[in-house]
Amino acid sequence: MKKMLVLLALVLTMFAPVMADSDRVITFEQLPAQVRTLLKKNFAHKVPLVVTVDRDDYTVRFQSGEKAEFDKRGNWREFDCKMSAVPTALIPEQIKAGVEKTFPGAVIVKIDRDRRGTYDVKLNNGMEIEFNSYFQVIDIDD
């Protein structure tokens, strides 16, 4: 009996990290109010397909393929619009100006903000630009 309990404890310990990272599907109305407001304002014409939550963030996937991620406090982390433009109201002014100056005519299709305050931007021409927290370009990949 003692061996069975030890074996059961071992099995549960092995699967605990897997179960902790699992996404849980929620409704759009269960998102924090500020997230719902931002999405309704900037993605009004998009239909949410699935909304998930895990221990770190909320993810909204739209029927048209776009994705939006937010942290637990409702701050945005990522907008991935695939082939369409990220709504300009969501892009910091310094990044918009830098992209327009350096790559005229290019469109931002993805923007990602990490916890350190750096931004990764992907353009429709395939270029990827990394900005530091002061909005200075620190890397460009093509």
Q: Is it the case that residue 102 has pLDDT exceeding 70?
A: yes
Provide the whole-model pTM. Answer: 0.82
What mean pLDDT is predicted for residues 82-91?
Answer: 94
Q: Are 5 and 32 in contact (CB under 8 A)?
A: no
Give the per-residue pLDDT at 106: 96
> What pLDDT digit, counting tens, does each position of 58-78 carry?
999 999 999 999 999 999 999
Q: Is it the case that residue 99 has pLDDT exceeding 50?
A: yes
Q: How far apart are alpha carbons 124 and 118 in whole angstroms?
A: 20
Q: How confident is the model at residue 2 (pLDDT cuts 50, 70, 90)?
A: low
Q: Is it the case that residue 11 has pLDDT exceeding 90?
A: no
Q: Is it the case that residue 10 has pLDDT exceeding 80?
A: no
Average per-residue pLDDT in the chain?
Answer: 88
What mean pLDDT is predicted for residues 118-141?
Answer: 96
